[in-house]
Structure 1
Amino acid sequence: MTLVSTEPQRDVFFVSNSVDELGGVTSWSHQMARLLTGRGHRVHVVGITPSDVVQELGEVAYPMTTLYAGQPPRPGRAREASMREQAVRLTALFRAARPGAVVIVTQVWAMEWVAQADTRGLTVIGMSHESFEYSKASSRFQRVRKYYQDVDRMLALTREDADLWIGQGMNNASFMPNPLPFMPDVPSPRTEKAVVSIGRLHDQKGIDMLLDTWAEVAPRHPDWRLRIYGSGEDEEILKKQCTALGLDNSVDWMGRTSDVAGALRGGSVFVQSSRGEGFPLALMEAMATAVPCAAFDCAPGVHEIVHDGEDGLLATLGNTGELARRLDTLMSDKELRDGMGDRARINIQRYTTTEIVNRWEDLFSFLER
């Protein structure tokens, strides 16, 4: 049954780099769009450019708009002229909204276009879906400071990250965790001797470090397999690394999957080897499926989701030997992983969709005052 909110029904715009690119921000945007639509709000998802690698969205119950038919011109006068032109389109969308409308900019690159549009009378929220430290190591850091400085609220994913942004002079910073992506009725039985990884085959996800980790673990557990779900630009070089490490007989390259819950139910341990994250959905999905996690503690969102030693095990970022020991601990002790998996499924429910959507609606009302 759909629960209609007692909050005012609003027009809500989600503005991202693309409406359907592969990645967690897109998944989050459409999950929130569905949830807010279910509460009676009128949602519109806007992207700046089309995607090179498209995520399957299925049917959507709200409009989607992409500003450019291709990529915008290179920086220069032509780029500036095109941005002004597309800002006019954004302004037209925003002007058609009812009073109390909210613009949620999910990625700071997209904010460069929103900043040129007329947002008078609208609440504008800018988001960073990565940790403060990971952002600081990229070009996005200065763009956040520039383009989110004057929005109504700049949202990080954890209180720890918000405090760090405040320390940079972003006094409008606060935080909002991600909602639980799903809560499967049937958890993993944790009977298969399989460790599961789910994520893009991209440097950020650290699959190269995972293979180095597995090279230490696999000889001690010859009856276990590592299943790597995902695709990406690093696939060829990672498979070569796998072969060079002598791991071809214990690693399964599963490709992309549209059945994340099914993939997780087929595993007894989940591993995340990322160099950087925000509030990782994959960890939440694994815990909801009652699969205990071993992960690099690469962001505040990771140690907020996983209670180290209670419902999962964390290792120092980049220390593959330590991550190997965490995996070995879970793989060697069925009673331990069963206990951690059961506690993970219970603990992760503090991020239910109802709780998080209520927090969003409370924020809308607070910022409208």
Structure 2
Amino acid sequence: MTQVSATFHTTGKVCGRQREVEHLLLRGLQGKGRKAVASLAVNALAAVNRRRERTAPPPSAEQVKILLLHAYGMGGTIRTVYNLAGYLAKDHDVEIVSVLREAEESFFPVPPGVRISFLDDRREPPTGLRRLLARPSRLIPKEEAAYHRFTLYTDLKLARYLRSLRTGVLIATRPGLNLAAAALTPPGVITIGQEHVALQGHAETIQAMIKRRYPKLDALVALTKADLRDYRALLRKKPRRLTRIPNAVPPMDGDRADLSAKTVITVGRMTKIKGFHRLLDAWKLVTEVHPDWNLRIYGAGPQQENLQEQIESLGIGATATLPGSTDDVGSELAKASIFVMSSRHEGFPMTLLEAWGKGLAVVSFNSPHGPKEMITHEHDGLLVKPRTVENLANAIIRVIEDEPYRRHLAANAVRTAETYDLDAVGAQWDALFDELVAPR
């Protein structure tokens, strides 16, 4: 027996067939005769599941677990999960289960009645089993955007957690976690996969795995109608329920924008997909006409240094700034008049909903799925041909110069935001739970 296997075999309170399954799983994760071991593990899991199915309690939504990558991080998915968890906690026992913990405190306020637990606490250097299993994940596909965050240790912790569940609802929130939940969660647990990124944004290998495994989920929830159509086309065999439930507008501090500030704002993680480099190129053109207006890009990420260098090279440092992250998005939005979305792709952008809720005029690239579906052109926002810097600049200039038009867009934006009210969206989750709990 290898050192890793021996350590695993004597760690934790597992016994009998379950220990056998986990031992086979770990051997497969280590890559030793993976195909043969994987086949044995699948057969063993199937046998355990058949036995559990005979004794599983009736489906219940009393307990709700939401599986998240890093609950104490910042980002749209985390914010929407907190929002949903807070709503569900009124009538359910709700726990957010975070695969990772890398910070002392949550970036966002934790909703009342919601517990948070962690599978892998990384606040200290790895020791013991975590250090021994600090190797690339075998459970999460390499093409998953967050693959580098997972290890053999998180594989083990995640597999054990999923196999420990007996009842309630499990909501997973990204492809890797959805795939793991579909493969490992035992009978008796209602499994729901929630997708925050458009299907077409996933690598082909991920889409192939989705096609094979997602039908094992009880439900799959897409955020947009376009994405729902794509999943219906891909999945020949479908989960029990395939539906669309949008995210809701979260509660925000600050007043509604009065549209007098000469400020354009955007918020997001600083990655290439957000297109902030194109926004800065467009802003250079805007400042040539309106040097008295300012651009603020809130957020952090791997592109932050490059964006700052771009600001300096374009000579727009007097009007374009990167203030960093903020835990009070609402107040910052209320200080602006125009919100710009320059993303190459979006699933269902929460920042767009937040900007609408604060009564901002919106200018956005007409990117697939999210903005294209959410925004009614010339009504509650202005859509621009994707990746066209000059067109983006001209759209911003138009909204700056035409104040009545700016106020027209903003007024309609507020009314659109009301259709994404938390109670209205939450009622759709309530209906989904009722349907999944009902006898087949």
More helix by share: 2
Q: Which amino acid aligns with 1:63?
A: R
Q: Which amino acid aligns with 2:222?
A: A
Partner of 1:311: 380
Determine helix, strand or coil for the equivalent of 1:87.
helix
Is 1:187 matched with 2:256?
yes
Q: Is the 8 A contact 2:257 2:359 kept in 1?
A: yes
Q: Which amino acid aligns with 2:437?
A: E
Aligned length: 355
Partner of 1:153: 219
Partner of 1:89: 161
| CA distance in structure 2 between the partners assigned to 1:79 and 1:261 by the alignment | 36
Determine helix, strand or coil for the equivalent of 1:231.
coil
Change in CA separation of 1:256 and 1:121 when aligned onto 2, cut-off 3 Å:
same
| CA distance in structure 2 between the partners assigned to 1:255 and 1:229 by the alignment | 5
| CA distance in structure 2 between the partners assigned to 1:201 and 1:263 by the alignment | 17
Change in CA separation of 1:117 and 1:277 when aligned onto 2, cut-off 3 Å:
same
| CA distance in structure 1 between the partners assigned to 2:312 and 2:207 by the alignment | 37
Q: 1:322 aligns with which of 366, 384, 391?
A: 391
| CA distance in structure 1 between the partners assigned to 2:433 and 2:385 by the alignment | 37
Moved more, 148-157 or 177-186: 177-186
Is 1:363 matched with 2:432?
yes
Q: 1:49 aligns with which of 100, 105, 111?
A: 100
Is 1:132 matched with 2:199?
yes
Question: Following superposition of structure 1 onto structure 2, how do residues 87-236 of structure 1 map, counting pairs within 5 Å?
Answer: 87-92=159-164, 94-95=165-166, 97=167, 101-115=168-182, 117-135=184-202, 137=203, 140-169=206-235, 171-172=238-239, 173-182=242-251, 186-236=255-305
Deviation string, structure 1 residues 6-52 (Cα, Å, up to 9, x no partner): xx8621110122222221111111111111102x2110111222347
Alignment gaps of 5+ in structure 1: 1-7
Q: 1:240 aligns with which of 293, 297, 309?
A: 309
Q: 2:63 aligns with which of 2, 7, 11?
A: 11
Q: TM-score, normalised by structure 2?
A: 0.75
| CA distance in structure 1 between the partners assigned to 2:329 and 2:364 by the alignment | 18
CA RMSD, aligned part only?
Answer: 2.5
Q: Is the 8 A contact 1:84 1:116 kept in 2?
A: no
Q: Which amino acid aligns with 1:19?
A: A
Q: Is the 8 A contact 1:310 1:340 kept in 2?
A: yes
In the TM superposition, what is the alpha-carbon distance from 1:200 to its structure 2 partner? 1.4
| CA distance in structure 2 between the partners assigned to 1:351 and 1:244 by the alignment | 40
Partner of 1:30: 82
| CA distance in structure 2 between the partners assigned to 1:159 and 1:211 by the alignment | 31
Determine helix, strand or coil for the equivalent of 1:16.
strand
In the TM superposition, what is the alpha-carbon distance from 1:84 to its structure 2 partner? 4.5
Q: TM-score, normalised by structure 1?
A: 0.89
Q: Is the 8 A contact 1:156 1:174 kept in 2?
A: yes
Is 1:58 matched with 2:124?
no
Change in CA separation of 1:350 and 1:48 when aligned onto 2, cut-off 3 Å:
same
Question: Following superposition of structure 1 onto structure 2, how do residues 261-272 of structure 1 map, counting pairs within 5 Å?
Answer: 261-272=330-341
Deviation string, structure 1 residues 99-132 (Cα, Å, up to 9, x no partner): xx21111112123443454431121111210123
| CA distance in structure 2 between the partners assigned to 1:106 and 1:24 by the alignment | 12
Q: Is the 8 A contact 1:22 1:53 kept in 2?
A: no
Q: Is the 8 A contact 1:108 1:147 kept in 2?
A: no
Partner of 2:50: none
Q: Is the 8 A contact 2:266 2:296 kept in 1?
A: yes
Question: Taking every aligned residue pair, what percent have the same amino acid on both sides?
Answer: 26
Partner of 2:368: 299
| CA distance in structure 1 between the partners assigned to 2:399 and 2:205 by the alignment | 38
Partner of 1:290: 359
Q: Is the 8 A contact 2:252 2:328 kept in 1?
A: no
Moved more, 66-75 or 40-49: 66-75
Change in CA separation of 1:85 and 1:30 when aligned onto 2, cut-off 3 Å:
closer
Determine helix, strand or coil for the equivalent of 1:362.
helix
| CA distance in structure 1 between the partners assigned to 2:408 and 2:230 by the alignment | 35
Q: Is the 8 A contact 1:204 1:274 kept in 2?
A: yes
Is 1:73 matched with 2:135?
yes
